[in-house]
Structure 1
Amino acid sequence: MIIWLNGAFGAGKTQTAITLQYRLPHAFLYDPEQAGLYIRKNLPNSMQKADFQNHPLWRSIVREHLAYLTTNTEGIILVPMTITDSSNYEEIIGQLRKDGHEVLHFVLAASAETLGKRLAKRGNKENSWAAQQIPRCMNGLANPLFENKLVTDELAVDEVAAAIAERAGLNLHKDCRPWWKVRWMQMTSRWR
């Protein structure tokens, strides 16, 4: 099973995925951004695009890699990645589903104000690239294609992870991280 956590920058995708990774047996955190960084590093400047998601190669690598993982592992694959273009969604998530892979897609939604505050807490100023993407992400994710929205404005990371697990029909185990790591994450990522 693949759990794709979508949402604007600052929505809590990565922190939620990390929490789920520690609370679901055999869960694996897959970062599609690494494929994008690989492409950027290994293509000449003349072939570069502003957004690596616009490379057909990136979409192909991500789709094939996820198909390989789901075919060869029993664990849950967690994918924290913003994807707002409906054709990219269909090319990756839609095709994986057509090929018989179970993909549960969730959008972690929050107001622009909340997203801005969260980004500021992690050091992204109002004019940062991530902050400038908020309107584009919110507009793109308003498309009904991007299903299973979970409003996170008033939720902590643990609450978001619990809601995702419940919607996915999964039972969360006790967090296996050392107590101080859990406490540190709670202190540094509290969203309210």
Structure 2
Amino acid sequence: MIIWLNGIHGVGTSAVAEELRQLVAGSAVYDPEPVDAGLRELLPKERLARIEELAEGVRELPSWRRLFVETAVALLAEVPGPLIAPVSLPHQEHRDEIFGALASRGVPVRHFLLTAEETILRKRVDQLALVVGEKARNTYQRQLPEYRAAHDWLERDAYLVDTTRRTPRTSARTVADAMARGEGDCAIVQTPEPRGETVAAGVLLFDDEDRVLLVDPTYKPGWEFPGGVVEAGEAPGCGGVREVAEELGLRLDRAPDLLVVDWERPVPPAVGGLRLLFDGGRLGPAEIARLSLPGEELREWRFVSESEAVALLPGPRKERLSWALRARELGRPLYLESGAPTGGLP
């Protein structure tokens, strides 16, 4: 297990983590600064110079998030656990990527957000600046708008602990007591990461304005089509229908029509494979009203236009959607490789 202590610089995550370590038997504090330092040491200087200009530095890299997860798993093999991670995490897409990867490795997360009144925070940061220099104040000023923007999703996702009038010791006791009540649990259902190429089936569903339905997974960044990995011995179309029923509570009354077959090139750590998109048809108002989400997998659904979808879908999914909509207009499926048609444009 990982006990994640989230919060803006100056709120006391490191001090609370050390106190919590003394309260939770077998626990260890996991400060990922050595992961940061290792990446800084290994990256070429030219690349590192560009990265250090980013708000979170190396922690904005996908490679950092992968290393954080793999290091956590390795540590949990060496210590009784749990790990206490005092790590700032204001970006929901980073939360999804890290927590989802941990879930796929069987590591649950308890998420706690430490907060404090802003006047108290500023006093603490001023005191830190006297000891460690202006870097403390600069970090706080950089993180402040990020945490303000993240307020809504953090309040929904994490258990809040106000440290304004608490010492690190009493804040740690508050976290420990909340854990005993089951607070902070991030229940994510995620299968182990595949070791070889996979076949995945997505289903496009439309409303009466021809907008397409997308879902927001809790276990990976970005939005997605309803669907998932096809099980062994399962027909892809049946896999897509099954996933729609599991994810949305919707049972399609017909087999969906194939729109796109996309061979996704393996680019480590992604294993690649075949990605199929099917046309699930148009949903009526009554069907839309009955849509329901499994909270441990999906947090939201919405109908969007193609241009809106481009801003929500990561990587090749946006190209896949564009060609799937083209195939729907043409009335015939298209074959793609890594999001692009072969043999000339249709």
TM value normalised by structure 2: 0.46
The answer to whether the aligner puts 1:19 opposite 2:29 as a matched pair is no
The alpha carbon displacement at 1:34 in A equals: 2.0
**Displacement of 1:128 after TM fit?**
2.8
Task: Say if 1:126 and 1:34 are closer, same or farther in 2 by CA, change over 3 A.
Answer: closer
Q: Distance in 2 between matches of 1:127 and 1:155?
A: 21
Maintained 8 Å contact 2:126/2:137? no
Partner of 1:128: 137
Pair 24,44 (structure 1): closer, same or farther in 2 beyond 3 Å = same
- Larger radius of gyration between Structure 1 and Structure 2: 2
Structure 2 residues not aligned, in runs of 5+? 182-346
2:163 aligned with 1:152, yes or no?
yes
Q: Residues of 2 paired with 1:82 and 1:4: CA distance?
A: 9
Does the residue aligned with 1:164 lie in a helix, a strand or coil? helix
Match for residue 115 of structure 1? 121
Cα distance in 1 for partners of 2:26, 2:12 equals 21
Shift of 1:152: 1.6
User: For residue 165 of structure 2, what is the amino acid of its counterpart?
Assistant: E
The structure whose residues are more often strand, as a share, is 2
Q: Which letter maps to 1:167? A: A
- Separation (CA, whole Å) in 2 of partners of 1:130 and 1:142: 22
User: Does the aligned pair in 1 maintain the 2:23–2:176 contact within 8 Å?
Assistant: no
- Relative to the length of structure 1, the TM-score reads 0.79
Aligned to 1:94: 100
Contact 1:2–1:70 at 8 Å: present in 2 too?
Answer: no
Where does residue 38 of structure 1 map in the other structure?
Answer: 38
Please state how far the C-alpha of 1:18 moved relative to its aligned partner: 0.7
Report the structure, 1 or 2, having the larger helix content: 1
SS of 1:122's partner is: helix
Name the SS of the counterpart of 2:165 in structure 1. Answer: coil
Moved over 3 A (4+): 124-127
Tell me how far apart the structure 2 counterparts of residues 63 and 160 of structure 1 sit (CA, whole Å): 26
**Could you tell me whether the CA contact under 8 Å between 1:16 and 1:158 is conserved in 2?**
yes
Matched, 1:57 2:63: yes
Distance 2:120 2:149 in 1: 16
Partners of 2:135 and 2:24 in 1: CA distance = 35
Quote the RMSD (CA, aligned, Å). 2.2
State whether residues 115 and 134 of structure 1, in contact with CA within 8 Å, keep that contact through their aligned partners in structure 2.
no
Shift of the 44–126 alpha-carbon distance from structure 1 to 2, 3 Å rule, reads closer
* Matching of residues 168-183 of structure 1 within 5 Å: 168-169=179-180
Shift of 1:95: 2.2
User: Relative to structure 2, which stretch is displaced further, 89-98 or 160-169?
Assistant: 89-98
Q: In structure 1, how many angstroms separate the alpha carbons of the residues matched to 2:147 and 2:40? A: 22
User: Which residues of structure 1 form unaligned runs of 5+?
Assistant: 171-192
Amino acid at match of 1:128: R
**Which of the pair has the greater relative contact order for Cα pairs under 8 Å at 6+ separation?**
1
User: AA paired with 1:157?
Assistant: P
User: Which amino acid is 1:17 matched to?
Assistant: A
1:129, 1:37 → 2: CA distance?
A: 20
On the 8 A contact 1:8/1:138 being kept in 2, the answer is no
Is residue 137 from structure 1 mapped to residue 143 from structure 2 by the alignment? no
Q: 2:150 aligns to what SS in structure 1?
A: helix
The number of residue pairs the alignment matches comes to 170
- Distance 1:130-1:86 versus aligned 2 partners, 3 A rule: same
Residue of structure 1 in register with 2:297 after alignment: none
> Are the structure 2 counterparts of residues 115 and 126 from structure 1 closer, same or farther at C-alpha, using a change threshold of 3 Å?
farther
Q: State the alpha-carbon separation in 1 of the partners of residues 148 and 34 from structure 2.
A: 24
Is the alpha carbon distance of 1:46 and 1:146 closer, same or farther for their aligned partners in structure 2, counting shifts above 3 Å? farther
Aligned partner of residue 128 in structure 1, secondary structure: helix
Verify the 8 A CA contact 2:23 2:173 in the aligned structure 1.
Answer: no
